[in-house]
Amino acid sequence: MSQRDYYDVLGVDRGAGDAEIKKAYRRLAMKYHPDRNSDDADADAKFKEATEAYEILSSSEKRAAYDQYGHAGVDPQAGMGGFQNGNFSDVFSDVFGDIFSGGRGGGRSSVRQGADLRYGLELDLEQAVNGDEIEIKVPVLSACGTCDGSGAKEGTSASTCPDCQGAGQIRVSQGFFSLQQTCPRCRGAGQVITDPCSSCAGQGRVEKMKTLSVKIPGGVDTGDRIRLTGEGEAGMNGGPPGDLYVQIEVRQHPIFERDGKNLYCEVPISFADAALGGEIEVPTLDGRVSLKVPPETQTGKLFRLRGKGVKPVRGGAVGDLLCRVAVETPVKLSDHQKDLLQQFKSSLSEGGKKHSPKEASWFDGVKSFFDGLTK
């Protein structure tokens, strides 16, 4: 029996809980395990010491006796219980059973749930905003119709694995302790198929193309997922099927850009409408609406059309449509039109820069910049 303080051995405080003690032992056992330190006798001793400390501190009765009487309270020679080398296997299995054997208490069940699947679905913006119902075709592993998913030839059935006797696991001795591992013959199923089904080659599942109808709720956006319960791969040996997750990707729209529940669009207007004001038609997802443009409108000005955006899929107020004005420069002018513009330009110069507020402020800024360089 080690005479070091068991709490010091595991590196925990005296008030440490069971989970902290177990975690500390895991760390030390993995570090000093004999299989990892076959040529290090000191590591073997530390492994046994850590296991001894855990065996005492993991038991409420032994820990209470140790806290009250020290090593004398758990010394087997004093008739008060204690640690014996024969307990190494049980202690190690208690802590590492979930790693080496898939959990204590028997073999692994052969009934397994089918895998989840993901399907990428592209939508137009109108479909995403308004909702839709779309049919998709998905290749999935479904239960074999010939053998009803058993994997065995019709008229036969799977038999108990002779190596693990149906437990799905076998026990392997390694030094002074033993471990459980998945049976290599039946791969944990506990049964073997000697006469496999010809349709599925004993797998119990075959690939099929399944047609599904997906209801798209209005307001979905790129990155959203729609879950279709039970439409994934079929389970193994009667296990439940997995789920199908439809991943939404919204295509780029030629007119609108989406930002959450708001929509943006660029609206070109003529030079005359921008200067004099007017009324223009702008598109929305519900149709065309009229937009009043005030006189002296500049490029980049945003006009908000409330309630013309997107209703969020998770609820909330409908977003807005924001129209960004872009003033167009006229092209392909006739000689007469050029002459008129020249006259217009000359008339503007008579009034100074008051007709071009941005130009005036820009030139003032440039002048200040160069004046600062000459100082």
Give me the mean pLDDT over the 59-64 stretch. Answer: 87
pTM of the model: 0.57
CB 293 within 8 A of CB 270: no
Enter the tokens of residue 309.
Answer: 């955006």
To 10 degrees, what angle do helices 41-57 and 88-100 make? 90
CB 95 within 8 A of CB 122: no
| pLDDT computed for residue 30 by the predictor | 80
- Cα angle 92, 94, 99; round to 5: 80
Q: Is pLDDT above 70 for 321?
A: yes
pLDDT in tens, 266-287: 999 998 899 899 899 999 998 9
| pLDDT computed for residue 131 by the predictor | 94
Q: Is pLDDT above 90 for 120?
A: yes
Question: For residue 104, what pLDDT band results from cuts at 50, 70 and 90?
Answer: very low
Q: Is pLDDT above 60 for 79?
A: no
Bridging pattern class, strands 287-293 and 278-284: antiparallel
CB 288 within 8 A of CB 281: yes
Which comes out higher in pLDDT, residue 56 or 357?
Answer: 56
Give me the mean pLDDT over the 94-100 stretch. Answer: 50
Q: In a 3-state reduction of DSSP, which class is residue 91?
A: helix
Question: For residue 309, what pLDDT band results from cuts at 50, 70 and 90?
Answer: very high
Question: For residue 360, what pLDDT band results from cuts at 50, 70 and 90?
Answer: low
Give the separation between CA 200 and CA 151, rounded to whole angstroms: 7
Instruction: Please provide residue 212's backbone torsions phi and psi, each rounded to the nearest 5 degrees.
Output: -125, 150
Q: Is pLDDT above 50 for 85?
A: no
Give me the mean pLDDT over the 115-140 stretch. Answer: 93
First to last CA, the chain: 88
Give the separation between CA 329 and CA 316, rounded to whole angstroms: 41
Give the separation between CA 113 and CA 300, rounded to whole angstroms: 56
- Cα angle 350, 351, 352; round to 5: 95
| pLDDT computed for residue 90 by the predictor | 52
CB 167 within 8 A of CB 210: no
| pLDDT computed for residue 112 by the predictor | 74
Which comes out higher in pLDDT, residue 149 or 176?
Answer: 149
| pLDDT computed for residue 40 by the predictor | 78
To 10 degrees, what angle do helices 88-100 and 18-32 make? 90
Ranking 133-142, 152-161, 363-372 by mean pLDDT, the lowest is 363-372
Which comes out higher in pLDDT, residue 340 or 368?
Answer: 340
Instruction: Please provide residue 23's backbone torsions phi and psi, each rounded to the nearest 5 degrees.
Output: -65, -40
pLDDT in tens, 166-223: 888 887 766 556 677 888 888 777 888 888 998 888 888 888 898 999 999 999 999 9
Residue with tokens 């895998």: 115
Domains of the chain: 6-100 (1.10.287.110), 108-149+198-251 (2.60.260.20), 159-192 (2.10.230.10), 256-327 (2.60.260.20), 337-374 (no CATH)
How many residues are given for the chain? 375
| pLDDT computed for residue 102 by the predictor | 41
Q: Is pLDDT above 50 for 243?
A: yes
> Which residue type, as a one-letter code, is found at position 235?
G
H-run or E-run covering 257: strand 256-259
User: What is the percent of the chain with per-residue pLDDT over 90, rounded to a whole number?
Assistant: 35
Order the strands of the 244-250 sheet from edge to edge: 117-123, 244-250, 225-228
Closest to 26 measured CA to CA, from 73, 80, 84, 94: 94
Instruction: Please provide residue 127's backbone torsions phi and psi, each rounded to the nearest 5 degrees.
Output: -65, -40
What does pLDDT average to over the chain?
A: 82
Give me the mean pLDDT over the 43-64 stretch. Answer: 87
Q: Is pLDDT above 70 for 107?
A: no
CB 265 within 8 A of CB 257: yes
Burial class of residue 351, CB neighbours in 10 A (0-12, 13-18, 19+): exposed
